[in-house]
Each structure stands twice: as structure tokens, then as C-alpha cells.
Structure 1
């Protein structure tokens, strides 16, 4: 298993962010920014970072929460501006290691899926994937937009993965997101799993297929 490390990275212009990083053991194919779920950078997120690195991707996960306080308060304070500020540093770290923008991708889960779509609509990168992204119609934070409002602004190929048994997201919302994303002018796809819920890591079969679809999406578009 590829090891992860967490440290503060400071750019030459003084910007700094805490990142959890994993590096491939051999050739670097490109770079991925992993955006964490509402619970923060958990062991599951670290495992994903490590697993992407094992597939050849230099992988970084910015810590999107700043300061102390309950998780609910941290979520409410999250804004598009803060997400972009942290991911810009993550992309800069990848660039410093020779990864070009067309070989950079972003992937997010739950709250991180929401953040990943914000990034994909504002930054010129190679591809994006969201899994169980919340906030489709009703935003998760007053400072984050509903996803249906920004889906038409996607600037890179985007894959959305959802479970029909998700008790937090109605399938009708997912279909509205599919339609909105289709108007973006870039390649988009939404995959729905009939028997999966919100947490794909609780369904081994769905988790395996979602993992391979995610890898295939990056394989196809980051080249």
C-alpha cells in the first residue's frame, strides 16, 4: 500500500494549505486532487489517496476545514472561494512536480463531490468525478451554489455517480443534474446504481464498480 503523509505546503507567493499526499512508486501518469467528505480527511479518504497513487497518480487531498468547531459549523462556513483557494494550492503543488493542467483531475465524495463540481466549473483541468455529491437543489452551505445552477458551466469532462437508495438525495434531483450538466458543452455522464445508498464503501460490489468507472474516466480524459 502506498503511504500517505500530511504536511503544510507553502508556495513562493506565501499561500499555504495542509495537504495529505501520496506519490506513485514509479512513473507519474498525472495528478489528482481528492476532496474529502463532510467528516473531513478520514482514514477512508487517506485510503483513497493511497489507492489512486498506487494506480500511478500523484494524489493530494487538501484539508478544506480551517479552525476549530463542530463539523456542522465547518460545513456551513465552507464557500466556493475557500474551496478554490485550497484546490488552487493543491494544483500548484502538482504543477511544481511537473504535472500539466490537462493531466490534472479532481474527485470528490459527498460534500467533496459538491466542492469538486465547483472546481470543475471554475478551473481548466482535465477531468472531474463526483460520487454522491449532495446539494443538488438545496445548497449544503449558504456560500456554496446548488449544483444544478453550476452544472451548465462545467469546463472539463465530468462523471457523476449516485445510488438510487441514497436517503439524502432523490433520484429526480439526480436526473435534473444530468440534464443541467448535458448543457455544458463538455463530455458528461451520470451513472446510477439501483441498489446502492449514499455511502458506496458500505456496498462492496457497488464500490468496486464505482472505483473502476472513476479510474476509467480519468484514464480516458487525462492523457
Structure 2
């Protein structure tokens, strides 16, 4: 089992895990609303097990702004570069509210790849067309017509961006995939494949 560690860089607390062998690239992990939980640590360790230097900035507070997220992500990216990761080998992945944050980052920063797993759909359509990083979005669908329409709008907006995008819908899965282990496993594999394809 890969262990996670903590560090502080530019006043941002970081939780990270390093691969045992060669580093394939660096991934910023944007956490869920509950913060850096045991589940997030497992995710970081899992990514390290696949060869990625994975690090989660602790972004916490009651009134976080887009700039708070971008500033913390920028510091974390700088930390990865200082550890020897090439700038074209940097990516971001987020889950739940972190999935929303990953889309925001991918629309304001040029990275090698970005992945969002879950997150709030309303409000994302207006920024999805401004993506500057190859982006994969995966969302559970509880079966409502409103949710399907929002997801199609997001897919269309992302497709209008000047980068490669893909939006995947998982019928019957909730927004965090907790209710469908099969969907969760497939989303994990898609995440790995996306980074494999775009961070070379």
C-alpha cells in the first residue's frame, strides 16, 4: 500500500503520494466538500500506484471563490514542477465538488489533461466552451429528464471548445457513483486511460 504524506508549500497544506518507480507525471487531486478524507487519500495512493505523483491541496473554507481554487491549484502545480515534473506532464482530477473545480481549472489553465467525476451541472455549461485543457467529464444520472438535458447541454458546450473533450453519462448512478460500484470502477479506468492518452 502506497503511503500518503503531508507538506506545506506557499501556505497551502498538501497531501501527496509518490510512485515507487519512475514518475510518469503529476496530478493535482481536487477533493470533495468534506476535505481530504480517507477516501481521497486512497485515491491519491491509487494514482501513485499507477505511476503518478499525486497531490491534493487542502482547499477549505465557507466562502471559497474561483480565485481561491485557482491560486491553490497554481501553488500545487508549482510544487510538482519543483519536484521535477515537466509542465506538459501535469493534470488535474476532481471528484464531487472537486469535479466542478477541475472543470474551472481546465477552463482557466492550460494543462495536459483534466478529469471531472461528478459535480454540479448547472452553471458549468457557460464555462465548458472555454476549456483550454483536454477534459473528460463523467456524471451519474439519477434518471430525471432535467438531468439528462443538462448533461447534453454540457456535452455540446464542451464539444465547442478548442480541445479534445468527452462527457460520459452513467444511467442509474448517483453523482458520486457510490450507489454503483461497476460505474465507479469503469470511471476509474476511464480516468487512467485519459491521463495515459494525454500525458505522454
TM-score (norm 2): 0.95
Asked whether the 8 Å contact 2:117–2:176 carries over to 1, the reply is: no
Question: Where does residue 38 of structure 1 map in the other structure?
Answer: 33
Within the candidate set 145, 148, 152, 1:171 is matched to: 148
Asked whether the 8 Å contact 2:119–2:175 carries over to 1, the reply is: no
Give the superposed CA RMSD: 1.4
| Per-residue deviation, residues 109-152 of structure 1 (Å, max 9, x unmatched) | 11101111111011111000001121x32xxxxxxxx2111111
Give every structure 1 segment of 4 or more consecutive aligned residues whose post-TM-superposition deviation is greater than 6 Å.
none
- For structure 1, the residue ranges without an aligned partner over 5 or more in a row are 10-14, 67-73, 138-145
Question: Where does residue 7 of structure 1 map in the other structure?
Answer: 7
Asked whether the 8 Å contact 1:162–1:192 carries over to 2, the reply is: yes
CA deviation after TM superposition for structure 1 residue 166, in Å: 7.2
Question: What SS does the corresponding residue of 2:105 show, helix, strand or coil?
Answer: helix
Question: Where does residue 87 of structure 1 map in the other structure?
Answer: 73
Question: What SS does the corresponding residue of 1:121 show, helix, strand or coil?
Answer: helix
Q: How does 1:100-111 map to 2 (within 5 A)?
A: 100-111=86-97
1:53 aligns with 2:30: no
Asked whether the 8 Å contact 2:31–2:97 carries over to 1, the reply is: yes
Asked whether the 8 Å contact 1:166–1:198 carries over to 2, the reply is: no
1:184 aligns with 2:161: yes
Asked whether the 8 Å contact 2:124–2:154 carries over to 1, the reply is: yes
Asked whether the 8 Å contact 1:35–1:112 carries over to 2, the reply is: yes
TM-score (norm 1): 0.86
Asked whether the 8 Å contact 1:166–1:197 carries over to 2, the reply is: no
CA deviation after TM superposition for structure 1 residue 101, in Å: 1.9
Question: Where does residue 132 of structure 1 map in the other structure?
Answer: 118
Question: Where does residue 142 of structure 1 map in the other structure?
Answer: none
Question: What SS does the corresponding residue of 1:170 show, helix, strand or coil?
Answer: helix
Question: Where does residue 199 of structure 1 map in the other structure?
Answer: 176
1:159 aligns with 2:136: yes
Question: Where does residue 112 of structure 1 map in the other structure?
Answer: 98
Cα 1:45–1:202 shift into 2, 3 Å: farther
